[in-house]
Amino acid sequence: MPQQKMSMTTKILVWMACGLVVGSLINAFASEVAFIQDYLVNGLFHVVGVLFINALKMLVVPLVTFSLICGVCGIGDVNTLGRVGVKAFLLFMLTTALAITLAITVAVVVGPGEGFDMQTAEQAEFTAPAAPPLTQVIIDLVPTNPVAAYANGNMLQIIFFTILFAICVLMIGERGRPIAQGAEKLNDVMMEVVNLVMHVAPIGVFALMAKTFSLQGLGLILPMISYFGVVAIVLVLHMTGTLMMLLKLLGRVSPLIFLKKMRTAQIFAFSTSSSNATIPVTLRSVEKRLGVDNSTASFVVPFGATINMDGTAIMQGVATVFIANVYGIDLGISGYLTVIGMAVLASIGTAGVPGVGLIMLAMVFNQVGLPVEGIALIMGVDRLLDMMRTAVNVTGDAAVTTIVARAEDKISMETFNDPAAGHVEEVRLPHEAPLTEK
């Protein structure tokens, strides 16, 4: 009887667990050993991890460009494109509002930060980065130089220009068909590159996890256990509860099948802490595993990776309650409602800005009168929580994409219900048979 091959998701999970264990052991027993820190943690782990992240980021811009052109040309109607965009935008705002409402509710009930001893926390200084005004964000949607937008990886500008370009390809009719067909072929090539990168993913994930836990360790969590625990619980509740209820009610699909098929993308998001870097894997999972048509997936997934901030909103809600409790400040109902409104608006206003989570949190704190320096208290555990909230963000992107596709009848339920659909079994070499993709 032939031995059953381990699935890619299982491989990544195993290597991720190994990285966590190795990193935690190094942090516990070899944090002062110069050789291990220099040549292993900041040497091998750092180099392999950064190479893996770079490989993923390398795919994002060409994949989003070709996929969006295919998507817009596949929709074939500007009115339909607008309808899909409005539905996706409203759903992303709804999930963000539900996420932070859930976070504040749970945090108020649990009360993290009550009786917190400021002496036990590692003191650090935090200087809030300047957030751009909303007017500037709107102005920056339109690139003055599309080439610069592509070079800098500015996703909102890339999406704007590519959609405009693809609409004009549609408008010139038959003459634009070769461009659309060329984009389809290039998109197929990019999907094949995604497949290749996925086969080195276990090693990349191991390196990222090992370095993170070598530097962070689990000891940092202990003084902040109440804050860390509440954020983690709410993230899990939102991902497995709120999003899955919306998926069941609005998308009319099985949440269990959805979660099982999105595991690979969630693991990638967890290990990379970047929704943008995970776009290639999210797109592949949504199209090949869930059966969403490229015309919908190619538009909604990059859009969601840019403006959907469910995980960050949850962190903001819990952090607001935590810091208010630490400093003994009573925000009241109006203060919490302000936080909810600010989080929803800020998820649009600070999209694509580096350090987006801390910028948004600083904006919220200023608005409700909390000391911004309180952010320094939670920075120690933010890296670990960032990994978790990125996985939630990616799950939200895929859930909204599935709901929109279901509403537009752009999803193959046969593919969605097939457990083996889109499952890559083995890597293909040039002289071998084609890659198996069911």
Q: Render pLDDT for 237-265 as a digit per residue (tens, 0 to 9).
A: 999 999 999 999 999 999 999 999 999 89
The residue with tokens 């939670």 is: 378
Q: What is the pLDDT at residue 64?
A: 81
Above 60 in pLDDT, residue 123? no
pLDDT at 2: 44
- Across the chain, mean pLDDT equals 82
User: Which CATH architecture is the domain 8-417 placed in?
Assistant: Orthogonal Bundle (1.10)
CA–CA distance, 73 with 199 (Å, rounded to integer): 31
Q: 3-class DSSP state for residue 433?
A: coil
Facing residues of 292 across strands?
411
> Which pLDDT band holds residue 4 (cuts at 50, 70, 90)?
low
Please determine, for residue 129, whether its predicted confidence score (pLDDT) is greater than 80. no
Per-residue model confidence as pLDDT tens digits over 14-47: 888 898 888 888 888 887 888 888 888 889 999 9
**Cβ atoms 59, 280 nearer than 8 A:** yes
pLDDT, residue 132, reads 61
Query: Dmax of the chain from CA atoms?
Result: 71
Question: Is the Cβ–Cβ distance between 298 and 190 less than 8 Å?
Answer: no
Per-residue pLDDT at 353 exceeds 60: no
Q: Using one digit for the tens of pLDDT, what is the confidence trace for 279-310?
A: 889 999 999 999 999 889 988 998 888 788 88
Quickly state the pLDDT bin for 272 (edges 50, 70, 90).
confident
Among candidate residues 172, 143, 101, 10, the one with its CA nearest the CA of residue 333: 101
Bridge partners (DSSP) listed for residue 411: 292
Q: Quick check: 126 pLDDT over 70? A: no
Place of tokens 């599309």: 146
Across 373-401, b (16+ Cβ under 10 Å) vs e yields bbbbbbebbbebbbbbbbbbbbbbbbbbb
**pLDDT tens for each residue of 132-170:** 666 776 788 899 999 999 998 877 788 889 989 988 998
The CA distance from 136 to 139, in Å, is 5
Query: Residue 396: which pLDDT band, with cuts at 50, 70 and 90?
Result: very high
Q: Report percent pLDDT > 90 for the chain.
A: 25
Q: Output phi, psi for 411, to 5 deg.
A: -140, 140
Unique residue bearing structure tokens 């609409």: 167
